[in-house]
Amino acid sequence: MGIQESAPLDVDAIREDFPILQRRVGPEEKQVVYLDNAATTQTPEPVVETITDYYRQYNANVHRGIHHLSQEASIAYEEAHDRLAEFVGADGREEMVFTKNTTEAENLVAYAWGLNELGPGDEVVLTEMEHHASLVTWQQIAERTGATARYIRVTDEGELDMDHARKVIGEATAMVSAVHVSNALGTVNPIEALVDLAHDHDALIFVDGAQAVPTRPVDVKAIDADFYAFSGHKMLGPTGIGCLYGKEALLDEMEPFNYGGDMIRKVTFEEATWNDLPWKFEAGTPVIAQGIALAAAADYLDGIGMDRVRAHEEFLSEVAYERLSAIDGVEIYGPPPGDDRRAGLVSFNVEGVHAHDLASIMNDHAVAIRAGDHCTQPLHDHLGITASARASFYVYNRPDEIDALIEGIEDAQELFA
């Protein structure tokens, strides 16, 4: 059932919170059509106000002062951990580490766990659709430790070959790192099945949720992921803030990734001991304003309802998929919509038009899309292409903006005919 039938969003009301969407750009001053949400979403006024309120009212460092402003900032920052833990179903702040982004979260686990736990004979299993943040990180850690990186194949429809997964994940597997939703294909992976496979072989699993947490309800406890990461700037929050969920017992056993202030309990000239979770992994002055603002973004999304966010995205994805499929010379990558197989993005190529040229023509129409390999070069090699164009949708996008996308494609076809 489509979003318009079941749980319509008042998109016009939502758009009032995003003045940037009213901008007119270019020589013809066309209104911006923002379809690059898989890269970065826009930030609503309530979240911007949260940031400015911090700097105007209680800007101070956390955990380091007994004065009033520091106490206010510390409470707000700690409560932000609680709020993000609640947003994804974690037990509490002890399981929610604030990082710079999903990439840093991946590196934190790779260095703090991987360097200490992996060795020759161990295997790290990834998927062929991994973002470079996952693929490159574990590839390099495997090289340093003598472990081996293996990859689960992607089918011709752009989905994981689960029969192959059952062959690749075995007794030598120590870690599985898998993307929940592909940023290039839009594929929604059967993450619970991968978790079960990993745990059946006593392996851990790290889930890249950068494209999942912003677009659908996520419950890390129900999924039973060992680690799960996501980024604030893809879910209406500010840049420079991400979250790493980790099971408390695992985080407690791991050594810190960074050393410095606030992550210590006691320091002598001979040794140091570490602070409690999650502060053990948040060395130095942390992302205070960003963390507090990300909690406000979670409030904003929950105000809409994550089930409705998912339904709206899937509706727009279905409209775009159908409209693009009707154009001769357009090749779409990834599975068709329906049955929760595809999230709200569509990657494609137009015959005879390089993706970068298409993005440039789209820019002339004030339509913002992404063009390139989307930080998935090995996946693009697998698909036999060097680049693709990507349109991605969010809560403030409307069907008529897909019309602008189609118009730009048709103009590109005429220009390159």
Model pLDDT, residue 4? 40
Model pLDDT, residue 1? 28
- Give the Cα-Cα-Cα angle 43, 44, 45 (nearest 5 degrees): 125
Q: Are 287 and 370 in contact (CB under 8 A)?
A: no
Domain boundary pick from 271, 302, 333: 302
pLDDT by residue for the chain (417 residues), tens digit each? Answer: 233 434 479 999 999 999 999 999 988 999 999 999 999 999 999 999 999 999 999 999 999 878 999 999 999 999 999 999 999 999 999 999 999 999 999 999 999 999 999 999 999 999 999 999 999 999 999 999 999 999 999 999 999 999 999 999 999 999 999 999 999 999 999 999 999 999 999 999 999 999 999 999 999 999 999 999 999 999 999 999 999 999 999 999 999 989 999 999 999 999 999 999 999 999 999 999 999 999 999 999 999 999 999 999 999 999 999 999 999 999 999 999 988 899 999 999 999 999 999 999 999 999 999 999 999 999 999 999 999 999 999 999 999 999 999 999 999 999 998
60: its two tokens: 């101070």
Rounding to the nearest 10 degrees, give the CA dihedral for residues 318, 322, 323, 326: 170
Model pLDDT, residue 2? 35
Amino acid found at 87: F
Amino acid found at 258: N
Domain boundary pick from 285, 302, 319: 302
* Cβ-proximal residues to 340 (8 Å cutoff; 6+ apart), any chain: 188, 314
Model pLDDT, residue 339? 86
Shared-domain flag, residues 59 and 163: yes
Shared-domain flag, residues 280 and 212: yes
Domain boundary pick from 302, 321, 340: 302
Half-sphere exposure of 194 (CA within 13 A, CB side): 28
Shared-domain flag, residues 115 and 171: yes
Model pLDDT, residue 179? 98
Shared-domain flag, residues 165 and 198: yes
d(CA 38, CA 388) in angstroms, rounded, equals 14
29: its two tokens: 């001053």
Shared-domain flag, residues 228 and 371: no
Shared-domain flag, residues 384 and 314: yes
Shared-domain flag, residues 165 and 89: yes
d(CA 130, CA 363) in angstroms, rounded, equals 28
Residues with a catalytic annotation lie at 375
Shared-domain flag, residues 282 and 310: no
Model pLDDT, residue 257? 87
Shared-domain flag, residues 351 and 383: yes
Domain range for residue 326? 3-43+306-415
By CB neighbour count within 10 A (0-12 exposed, 13-18 middle, 19+ buried), where does 409 fall? buried
Q: How many domains does the chain have?
A: 2
CATH number of domain containing 335? 3.90.1150.10
Shared-domain flag, residues 275 and 211: yes
Shared-domain flag, residues 283 and 330: no
Shared-domain flag, residues 265 and 223: yes
Model pLDDT, residue 33? 98
d(CA 271, CA 268) in angstroms, rounded, equals 5
CATH number of domain containing 216? 3.40.640.10
